[in-house]
């Protein structure tokens, strides 16, 4: 009886703990939750970027507002057969504080994607731009920050949202 209770409590703690702390932080953060962006790519890339931006902005403590001279920049282009469909790189930073994040979308792959999958790629990269790293412990389907292109998640999950809210 006592042993059973201990196991039950351990499982309860484990169950409560793992979803709360599954997200991984990249190590960079903006100095304020008010972050500027642009989605000035073209066609469906702009549409899906705006869709992903709206979810991050509405669902987390980060506030994304448009600027023609933004912190988060986006580019869609044919970067060839280079193994990535989306990339987020630090454009400017000082220590862990970031001043610019540059997102690249590789149309070599993504032109052949559905709009939904394109949105998944861009939303994932926006997650990096906000300061999230890759979350693979929850497996495919657990987080938009899972680092696999065969993604089944197109929007931030509760784990992704918790990660951004832990930063801002």
Residues interacting with Zn ion, by CB under 5 A? 147
Question: Closest residue (Cβ) to Zn ion?
Answer: 147
Minimum distance, C-beta of residue 120 to Zn ion, in the bound complex (Å): 11
Bridge partners (DSSP) listed for residue 101: 72, 90
Q: Which is nearer to Zn ion, 111 or 147 (CB)?
A: 147
Q: In 3D, which of 10, 29, 20 has the Cα closest to residue 137?
A: 20
Q: Which is nearer to Zn ion, 41 or 88 (CB)?
A: 88
Q: Which is nearer to Zn ion, 27 or 32 (CB)?
A: 27
Minimum distance, C-beta of residue 101 to Zn ion, in the bound complex (Å): 12
CA 129, CA 37: separation in Å to the nearest integer? 10
Q: Which is nearer to Zn ion, 61 or 147 (CB)?
A: 147
Q: Which is nearer to Zn ion, 6 or 147 (CB)?
A: 147
Minimum distance, C-beta of residue 145 to Zn ion, in the bound complex (Å): 7
Minimum distance, C-beta of residue 88 to Zn ion, in the bound complex (Å): 7
Q: Is 96 in a helix, a strand, or coil?
A: coil
Task: Provide the 8-state DSSP code for 132.
Answer: B
Task: Provide the 8-state DSSP code for 105.
Answer: E
Q: In terms of DSSP H, where are the helices of 60-106?
A: none
CA 107, CA 78: separation in Å to the nearest integer? 5
Minimum distance, C-beta of residue 119 to Zn ion, in the bound complex (Å): 15
Q: What are phi and psi of 93, to 5 degrees?
A: -155, 165
């Amino acid at each position: 009886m006592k042993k059973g209770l201990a196991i039950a409590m351990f499982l309860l703690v484990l169950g409560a703990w793992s979803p709360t702390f599954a997200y991984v932080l990249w190590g960079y953060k903006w100095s304020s939750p008010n972050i500027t962006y642009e989605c000035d790519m073209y066609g469906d890339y702009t549409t899906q970027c705006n869709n992903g931006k709206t979810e991050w902005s509405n669902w987390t403590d980060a506030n994304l507002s448009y600027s023609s001279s933004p912190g988060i920049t986006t580019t869609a282009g044919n970067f060839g057969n280079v193994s990535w469909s989306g990339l987020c790189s630090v454009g400017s930073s000082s220590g862990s504080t970031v001043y610019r994040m540059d997102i690249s979308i590789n149309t070599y792959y993504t032109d052949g994607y559905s709009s939904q999958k394109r949105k998944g790629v861009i939303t994932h990269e926006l997650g990096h731009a906000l300061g999230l790293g890759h979350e693979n412990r929850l497996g495919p389907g657990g987080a938009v920050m899972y680092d696999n292109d065969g993604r089944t998640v197109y929007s931030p999950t509760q784990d992704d949202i918790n990660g951004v809210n832990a930063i801002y």
